Amino acid sequence: MPNPGWGPLSGLPGNPLMWVLILSELLVFAAFFGVFAWHRANAPQSFLLGQQHLAPLIGGLNTLVLLTSGLAAALAVDASRQPPSARQRRRTRQRLWIAMALGILFCVIKAFEYHLEFFTSPIPNSVTFFTFYIGLTGFHAAHVIFGLCLLAIAAWRPHPHTVETVAAFWHMVDLVWVLLYPLLYLVR
């Protein structure tokens, strides 16, 4: 039992309060997904026009980057669970830095993609779709930036419990993107 004394939350890895945050964030994203599906059903042609303006390959590249960052975070958790030593701390930190570097790369690619979509060609008349697109990807990017701050804290003090807690949040960011990418770019 990783967290004795926390009732139903005691069986989850990392700090139980992080799981309260993760579950609430998943609920918020699920609600947005539902509203998106409803609006798309009511205006499929307008949404299709907006989706055709996006670059699915750039979105896919970002998915590959974020999932690789998730792997680095998971490997950091494994390293942090090894018997304490200077080598173990160094390996944990290295993996957390890799996860951070890939998270930053995700943000850079996203900014480049926004630039391509909104400043280099005329934007199709699909206001509702682009409101969702900016809102959902922007909200997700805010989570990525918050996750990067958490990863920096874990790299600074790589205690196994801290690393597990931060990695749990980072994987939630992964999980949401894995479903957000097809919703916005691919399901047409």
Residues near other proteins, by CB under 8 A: 8, 11-13, 23, 26-27, 29-30, 33-34, 36-37, 40-41, 44, 48, 52, 56-57, 60, 63-64, 67-68, 70-71, 73-75, 77-78, 82, 167-168, 171-172, 174-175, 178-179, 181-183, 185-188
The encoded tokens of residue 114 equal: 């926004």
Q: How far is the CB of 169 from other proteins (least distance, A)?
A: 10
Is 129 or 148 the residue whose CB approaches other proteins more closely? 129
Is 7 or 122 the residue whose CB approaches other proteins more closely? 7
For residue 126, the 8-state DSSP code is -
With residue 14 as reference, give the H or E element that holds it. none
Q: How far is the CB of 106 from other proteins (least distance, A)?
A: 14
Is 63 or 126 the residue whose CB approaches other proteins more closely? 63
Q: Which amino acid is at 49?
A: L
Q: How far is the CB of 110 from other proteins (least distance, A)?
A: 16
Token look-up 């779709």 returns 129
Is 18 or 155 the residue whose CB approaches other proteins more closely? 18
Q: How far is the CB of 92 from other proteins (least distance, A)?
A: 13
Is 63 or 137 the residue whose CB approaches other proteins more closely? 63
End-to-end Cα spacing for the chain: 44
CA 9/CA 158 separation, integer angstroms: 23
Q: How far is the CB of 136 from other proteins (least distance, A)?
A: 12
CA 182/CA 49 separation, integer angstroms: 16
Contacts of range 141-145, beta carbons closer than 8 Å, 24 or more positions apart: 141/107, 141/110, 143/25, 143/172, 143/173, 143/176, 144/66, 144/103, 144/106, 144/107, 144/173, 145/107
